[in-house]
């Protein structure tokens, strides 16, 4: 039987955009910078998989929200971009 592709574990995924501070007390502490660009977990995971830096992506969703298509497009452009001169 073919081996299943490994499921990315929680440890593998470092949230690239969330710099929110959780206080656990229910009170905000520090900036809630995640609101700068609302990214859904599915988009965040896709970006992590594709190695896309979300801060460089222009969102096309409601209110400039970054959608999966935007990440896929960014990944495609990056792949197609000519390699930087050595």
Partner 1 sequence: MSDNGGTFDLLILGAGSGGYAAAIRASELGMKVGLIEKDKLGGTCLHVGCIPTKALLHSAEVADAARDSETFGVKAGFEGIDMAGVNAYKDKVVSRMFRGLTGLIKAHGITVIEGEGKLTGPDEVTVDGTAYKGTNILLATGSKPKTLGLDIDGEKIITSEHALKLDRVPKSVVVLGGGVIGVEFASVWRSYGAEVTIVEALPHLVPVEEESSSKLLERAFRKRGIKYELGTPFESVKTTDSGVSVTLQGGKSLEAEMMLVAIGRAPVSEGLGYEEQGIQLERGFVKVDENLHTGVGNIYAVGDLIPTLQLAHVGFAEGIYVAEQLAGLNPPAIDYAGVPRITYSEPEVASVGLTSKAAKERGYEIVEQDYNLGGNGKSQILQTQGSVKVIAQKDGPVLGVHMVGSRVGELTAEAQLIYNWEALPSEVAQLIHPHPTQSEALGEAHLALAGKPLHVHE
Contact positions vs partner 1 (CB under 8 A): 1-7, 10, 13, 15, 18, 20-29, 31-32, 34-45, 61-65, 67-68
* Opening angle at CA 67, ends 28 and 45, nearest 5: 70
Nearest-approach distance from CB 4 to partner 1, in angstroms: 5
* Secondary-structure percent of the chain, ordered helix, strand, coil, rounded to 5: 40, 0, 60
**CA-CA distance, 80 to 37, in Å (whole number)?**
26
Indicate the residue among 62 and 83 with the shorter CB distance to partner 1: 62
Indicate the residue among 10 and 79 with the shorter CB distance to partner 1: 10
Nearest-approach distance from CB 58 to partner 1, in angstroms: 14
**CA-CA distance, 22 to 41, in Å (whole number)?**
17
Indicate the residue among 33 and 77 with the shorter CB distance to partner 1: 33
């Amino acid at each position: 039987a073919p081996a299943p592709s490994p499921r990315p574990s929680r440890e593998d995924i470092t949230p690239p955009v969330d710099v929110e501070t959780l206080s656990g007390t229910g009170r905000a502490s520090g900036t809630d910078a995640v609101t700068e660009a609302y990214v859904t977990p599915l988009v965040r995971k896709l970006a992590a998989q594709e190695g896309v830096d979300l801060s460089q992506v222009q969102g096309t969703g409601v209110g400039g929200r970054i959608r999966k298509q935007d990440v896929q497009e960014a990944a495609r452009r990056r792949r197609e971009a000519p390699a930087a001169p050595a």
